[in-house]
Amino acid sequence: MRIAIIGGAGTLGRHITAELAKRGHDARVLGRSSAAFPVDLRTGAGLDAALADCSAVVDASNSQRRPRQVLVDGSSRLLAAEQRAGVRHHVCISIVGCDHVPLGYYRVKTEQERVVTRGQVPWTIVRATQFHELAASVFAATARYRVLLAGRLPIQPVAAAEVASAVAAAAETDPAERRIQVAGPEVSSLGDLARTWRSATGQSAVLVPVPLPGRVGRELRAGGLTTSQADVVGRVTFADWLAASRAAEG
C-alpha cells in the first residue's frame, strides 16, 4: 500500500515511516521540510499533489506553537484533500485522556479528534500515552538549570517505536472507526521517572515537585494521563529505553 505520513520525520513519524517500510509498504513522508513531498497543513499547500495514489494517510503532525492551526484547521484541510484524492483511511494520532484533562493543548487534540470523527473519510484514532522520548527531553531541558520536574503525577510512558507499530498495524488494515489506546508497561510517578533519568544519566539535579492546582491537578493526580484499558501495552520501560538509547549513543 502507498501510505502518506504527515510529519513522517518527527519523533513518532520517523518510527511509523520505518515500521511501514519494514512491512513492505510505500511510506511517503510529508511535511514542510520534506524534499519530495512538501506540504503545509496551515495553508493546505502541496497536499493535493502529495496525496495522489495514496490509500491511507497517517497524521503524525504536531505543533506546540500553533496547535489549533495545524491540528484542527489542518485536519479539516487534510481531510478535504484526502476526499479529493480518494484516500480510504485516515489515521489520527491522539493522546490518552485528552478529553478529561482540561489543558489547552489537550482541548485542541480533542477538537482534532472531533474533526476526524465527523469527517467524510473513514478513520482510526490511535491514542497514546506520553512517549519516553518526551519525558527524557523534558528532563534534559530542565537539568540544564540543575532541576528536574518531579512529584506524584502518575504517568505511563511508552516508547514511540512501540506506538509506531500499533499505528502501522492500524494503517494497513480497514478503518476501525474507533479509538485504539496504546500505553506504556507501567504507571510511575513523575518523581520516580526523574530519579530513573538522573541515575541513568549521572546528572546532578534537584527534584522539584510540579504544582498541580485546580481541576487540571485533580484530573492529573487521579491518573488522567494513564489507562488500565489499553488495547496495546508496550513492553519497554523508561529505564530499559534510557539504557538502550544511551548504549546507541555510544
Ligand X SMILES: NC(=O)c1ccc[n+]([C@@H]2O[C@H](COP(=O)([O-])OP(=O)(O)OC[C@H]3O[C@@H](n4cnc5c(N)ncnc54)[C@H](OP(=O)(O)O)[C@@H]3O)[C@@H](O)[C@H]2O)c1
State in angstroms the smallest separation of the CB of 204 from ligand X.
26
Scan residues 47-76 and list those touching ligand X (CB under 6 A): 60-63, 70
CA–CA distance, 79 with 95 (Å, rounded to integer): 20
Closest residue by Cα to residue 93 from 166, 192, 20, 201: 166
Candidates 33-41, 200-208, 215-223, 240-248; binding stretch for ligand X (CB under 6 A): 33-41
Q: Does 227 bind ligand X (CB under 6 A)?
A: no
Strands (E), the chain: 2-6, 26-30, 56-59, 89-95, 123-128, 147-150, 154-155, 179-183, 188-189, 206-209, 232-233
Q: Pick the stretch among 28-36, 200-208, 214-222, 230-238 that binds ligand X (CB under 6 A).
A: 28-36
How many CB atoms sit inside 10 A of residue 55's CB? 17
**CA distances for 182 relative to 35, 84, 212, angstroms:** 31, 31, 25
Which residues between 99 and 118 bind ligand X (CB under 6 A)? Answer: 109
Q: If binding is defined by CB under 6 A, does position 239 make contact with ligand X?
A: no
- Residue 13 lies near ligand X (rule: CB under 6 A): yes
Residue with the closest Cβ to ligand X? 10
Residue ranges binding ligand X (CB under 6 A): 6-7, 9-13, 31-33, 39-42, 60-63, 70, 93, 95, 109, 128, 130-131, 134
